[in-house]
Amino acid sequence: MDYSYQQLLNQLRKSEGDGWKMITIDGVVGVGKTTLMDIMVKEFGYTPFIEPVVNNPILDKFYHDRERYSFPLQVFFLNERFKHIKDASKLDKAVLDRSIYGDVIFAKMLRDNNEMSEEEFAIYVDLFQNMIQHCEPPALMIYLEVSTEEAIRRIHKRGRTFEIETENIYWERLNKEYRNYFDAYDASPIVKVNVDNLDFENKSKDRAYMIALIKEALQSF
């Protein structure tokens, strides 16, 4: 089964102004998604849906044995993100730290790196396609772009052992996959922001810049 991101994205419903009113923040590990989500909660009153990495029974095992745990981890995330997007769809102002829409990035990379079998990937894609038929695209996708070097620096600063011990080539591949995916993404309006030189957690100027970008995007819906 040979899927490009464009082929996968072609199966998603496209937003024509009447999608769900949620906002999704996406980007590689350590890029600042949760920090930006917290800003949106405080500044705009959005209800947060945090990525299920805490109390995840598989995540740390995956980083030590990706071939063994890639499929159950991706099914776990897919199921949790489907729950999140259904719950968020009932609200007028919801913000998600990643969502089901970008879930295929990880699965496809793992398949391409022979860390998920073709059979497992086929089952995953079939499940993804079944779920996505019940979803509407977000009102806005915010993609936080970052260099691999900066992502790794932030990962080390955050200090999760299983992430720090992961080889750099994994983060390089993941960042490449993210860029390819969001170059092809057209399911909804999207704002792309390079955050290499932004620290909107600690610097008020950078925080104000992000708030202004979001306000401008929100004016369109």
Question: In the Cβ-directed half-sphere of 198, how many Cα atoms lie within 13 Å?
Answer: 20
C-alpha distance across the termini of the chain, in Å = 38
Catalytic residue among 65, 97, 199, 206: 97
Q: Could you confirm whether 97 is annotated as catalytic? A: yes
The region that residue 166 occupies, defined by phi over 0 for left and psi between -120 and 50 for alpha, beta otherwise, is beta
Element spanning 121, H or E: helix 118-132
Residue 24, C-beta contacts closer than 8 angstroms, at least 6 positions apart: 95, 96, 98, 99, 101, 102, 138, 140, 141, 142
Question: Of 1, 218, 184, whose CA–CA distance to 101 is shortest?
Answer: 184
Residue 147, C-beta contacts closer than 8 angstroms, at least 6 positions apart: 175, 196
- Pairing status of strand 23-26 against strand 47-49: unpaired
Active-site positions?
A: 97
